[in-house]
Amino acid sequence: MSAMTDKISGAANKATGTVKEKIGKATDDTDLQAEGAAQRLKGSAQNVKGQAKDKINKI
């Protein structure tokens, strides 16, 4: 994946994860909350990966 693709996927996962967490809290569904938190963290990791690729490509 390219740096831009990682950043876009990361943003999408962060947004989806946040929504799942909020729905989980609203419906008192701890499994959905946990799934959302995990997806949000995955998105953060993808974003960091994309930023690292950008820095490597600038060298």
Q: What's the pLDDT score for residue 15? A: 98
pTM value?
0.87
Q: State the pLDDT confidence band at 6, using cuts at 50, 70 and 90.
A: very high
* 3 state SS for 25-43: HHCCCHHHHHHHHHHHHHH
Domain positions in the chain are 3-57
Cα-Cα-Cα-Cα dihedral sign, residues 6, 10, 12, 16: positive
What was the pLDDT predicted at 18? 98
Q: For residue 8, name the pLDDT band (cuts at 50, 70, 90).
A: very high
Q: What is the pLDDT of residues 18-51, one digit of tens each?
A: 999 999 999 999 999 999 999 999 999 999 999 9
